[in-house]
């Protein structure tokens, strides 16, 4: 006889082997679904050479369902349009880049606090600027060198499709300049940091302090709208923080926010004419609690 261990809806005992069969069948049905591919930020490559930035995607029969980072919603395309080999290569490249970024962040964390040689002006008791160009700030009793990050333009593909569909110049194309990663590697604890900019080409006179818009996997530096037609006028929108700017020595400027910073992500960016350079010096401000 079979040992009974489960009850059916009529209150009768089900044989143990039948319960096991149902469990195995459930596992088999679950294995028929295509696996969900997920990561911090993925390129879903198309056969026409374009791609979508996604946080995850899954194959469902003849369709590919993905979550668009740009539009923050689920979308679908025919699987026949997706270049899976190129997508796999892109994922491998992204993993390699992320590994290098992690190693670089560790190196920055180890080296960003240092006692420079006494070559430059004294910015705090016992702390002097080094002799080379760069952007520095004092955090506590340590000198911090800001590092440069490269912004990446990302096009709003939905807005581009609207532009192509409308014959008259009534819709603007839109793109965002973003920094990869939700947070900068360098974190400061002073709401009113003073930045010391040493540069032979007068960089300190051309820098703006920007409050970045946070995202899950990136930070938005600015929003760029370009009108259609012959004029093609471009408008750049960014959240700037007012600064007190002083030249304190030859080739040396100080920059200080006029108001305490809110907690969040920031960057110092160079204005070239009226346009912002894609290379910025990013950092984050966090209010650390003092444990008594």
- Cα–Cα distance between 117 and 129 in angstroms, integer? 8
Does 241 reside within a domain? yes
Q: Which residue has the higher pLDDT, 275 or 232?
A: 275
Segment 219-225 shows an average pLDDT of: 80
Does 210 reside within a domain? yes
Does 291 reside within a domain? no
Does 134 reside within a domain? yes
For residue 6, the enclosing domain spans: 1-32
pLDDT score of 103: 85
Q: Using the predicted structure, report yes or no on whether residue 251 has a pLDDT greater than 80.
A: yes
Percent above pLDDT 90 for the chain: 37
Segment 235-240 shows an average pLDDT of: 84
End position of a domain, from candidates 65, 93, 111: 111
pLDDT, tens only, 104-157: 887 777 666 655 554 678 899 989 898 889 999 999 888 999 999 998 888 765
Residues 188 and 265 in one domain: yes
pLDDT band at 238 (very low <50, low <70, confident <90, very high): confident
pLDDT score of 246: 96
Does 221 reside within a domain? yes
Residues 72 and 137 in one domain: no
- Cα–Cα distance between 241 and 259 in angstroms, integer? 8
pLDDT, tens only, 276-285: 888 999 999 9
Residue 92 burial class via C-beta count within 10 angstroms: exposed 0-12, middle 13-18, buried 19 and up: exposed
- Cα–Cα distance between 116 and 123 in angstroms, integer? 12
Residues 93 and 143 in one domain: no
Segment 151-166 shows an average pLDDT of: 59
Residues 126 and 262 in one domain: yes
Q: Are 280 and 219 in contact (CB under 8 A)?
A: no
Does 290 reside within a domain? no
Q: Using the predicted structure, report yes or no on whether residue 25 has a pLDDT greater than 60.
A: no
Q: Structural domain tally of the chain?
A: 3
Residues 140 and 81 in one domain: no
pLDDT score of 228: 53
Segment 170-180 shows an average pLDDT of: 71
- Cα–Cα distance between 4 and 7 in angstroms, integer? 8
pLDDT score of 106: 78
Residues 4 and 57 in one domain: no
Q: Are 235 and 276 in contact (CB under 8 A)?
A: no
Does 292 reside within a domain? no
Residues 79 and 169 in one domain: no
Residues 41 and 27 in one domain: no
pLDDT band at 255 (very low <50, low <70, confident <90, very high): very high
Rg (CA), the chain: 27
End position of a domain, from candidates 111, 132, 151: 111
pLDDT band at 171 (very low <50, low <70, confident <90, very high): very low
Residues 261 and 119 in one domain: yes
Residues 92 and 21 in one domain: no
Q: Which residue has the higher pLDDT, 230 or 87?
A: 87
- Determine the 3-state secondary structure of 270 from DSSP: strand
Residues 15 and 87 in one domain: no
- Cα–Cα distance between 95 and 99 in angstroms, integer? 6
**CATH number, domain with residue 73:** 2.30.30
Q: What is the mean pLDDT of the chain?
A: 78
Residues 172 and 213 in one domain: yes
């Amino acid at each position: 006889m079979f040992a009974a261990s489960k009850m059916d809806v009529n209150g009768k005992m089900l044989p143990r082997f039948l319960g096991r069969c149902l469990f195995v069948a459930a596992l088999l049905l679950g294995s028929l679904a295509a696996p969900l591919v997920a990561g911090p930020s993925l390129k879903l490559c198309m056969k026409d050479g374009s791609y979508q930035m996604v946080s995850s995607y899954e194959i469902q029969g003849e369709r590919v369902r993905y979550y668009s980072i740009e539009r923050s919603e689920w979308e679908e395309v025919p699987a026949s349009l997706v270049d899976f080999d190129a997508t796999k290569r892109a994922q491998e490249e992204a993993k390699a880049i992320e590994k290098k970024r992690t190693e670089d962040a560790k190196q920055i964390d180890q080296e960003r606090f240092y006692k420079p040689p006494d070559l430059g002006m004294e910015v705090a008791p016992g702390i002097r600027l080094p002799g080379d160009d760069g952007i520095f700030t004092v955090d506590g009793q340590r000198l911090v060198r800001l590092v440069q990050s490269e912004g990446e333009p990302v096009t709003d593909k939905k807005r581009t499709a609207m532009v192509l569909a409308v014959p008259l110049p009534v819709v603007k194309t839109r793109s965002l300049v973003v920094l990869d990663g939700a947070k900068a590697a360098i974190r400061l604890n002073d709401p009113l940091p003073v930045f010391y900019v040493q540069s032979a080409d007068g960089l300190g006179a051309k820098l703006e302090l920007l409050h970045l818009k946070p995202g899950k996997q990136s930070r938005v530096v600015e929003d760029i709208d370009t009108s259609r037609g012959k004029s093609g006028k471009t408008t750049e929108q960014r959240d700037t923080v007012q600064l007190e700017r002083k030249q304190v020595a030859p080739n040396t400027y100080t920059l200080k926010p006029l108001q305490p910073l809110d907690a969040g992500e920031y960057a110092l960016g160079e204005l070239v004419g009226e346009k912002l350079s894609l290379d910025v010096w990013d950092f984050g401000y966090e209010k650390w609690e003092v444990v008594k």
